[in-house]
C-alpha cells in the first residue's frame, strides 16, 4: 500500500512510475521468498518480522545492515509482499511508529 491516507493498492505500472521518483520500496517478504521468486529491482528487503526494529534503528546501523539510506518519517515509502496481507501490516507498523 502507499502511505497516502486511504492507502490504495498500486498496480505494477503505478509502482514502476513511482520508482522513477524518490520513493523507497520495501519488500517485506521473507528472504527465502526472495531467493525463490527473485528480488524486485531497486527494492530493499526487510522481512516483516524485522520491520519494526529496522524502522527504529540508528540510521548508521540501518545503512550498514540494509545498504540503503534509512527513510525519514516523511519520506515516501511503498511496501510490497506476495499477496498484500503483510504489506498492509507493514503499513500499520510504520504508521504506528510515526511514518506519514
**What is the DSSP annotation of 41-100?**
TTEEE--HHHHHHHTTS-HHHHHHHHSSPPPPTTS-EEEE-SSSHHHHHHHHHHHHTT--
Which grid coordinates are listed for 48?
A: 516483516
> Would 2 be classed as within a structural domain?
no
81 is catalytic: yes
Instruction: Give the domain range for residue 81.
Output: 12-97
Candidate list 81, 90, 91, 94, residue with the active-site label: 81
Predicted pLDDT at 62? 96
Answer for the pair 81, 75: CB distance below 8 angstroms, yes or no.
Answer: no
Q: Grid coordinates 503499513 are at which residue?
A: 91
Q: Is residue 52 domain-resident?
A: yes
Q: Has residue 5 been placed in a domain?
A: no
Q: What is the CATH number of the domain that holds 20?
A: 3.40.250.10
Number of domain units in the chain:
1
- CA 39 to CA 79: how far, in whole Å? 13
Task: Report pLDDT digits (tens) over 45-71.
Answer: 999 999 999 999 999 999 999 999 999
**pLDDT of 65:** 95
Amino acid at each position: 500500500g502507499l502511505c497516502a491516507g486511504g492507502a490504495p493498492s498500486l498496480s505494477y505500472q503505478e509502482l514502476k512510475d513511482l520508482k522513477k521518483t524518490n520513493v523507497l520500496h520495501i519488500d517485506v517478504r521473507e528472504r527465502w521468498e526472495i531467493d525463490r521468486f527473485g528480488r524486485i529491482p531497486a527494492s530493499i528487503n526487510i522481512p516483516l518480522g524485522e520491520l519494526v526494529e529496522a524502522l527504529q534503528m540508528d540510521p548508521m546501523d540501518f545503512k550498514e545492515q540494509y545498504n540503503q539510506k534509512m527513510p525519514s518519517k516523511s519520506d515516501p515509502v511503498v511496501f510490497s509482499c506476495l499477496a498484500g496481507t503483510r504489506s498492509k501490516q507493514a503499513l500499520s507498523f510504520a504508521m504506528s511508529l510515526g511514518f506519514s
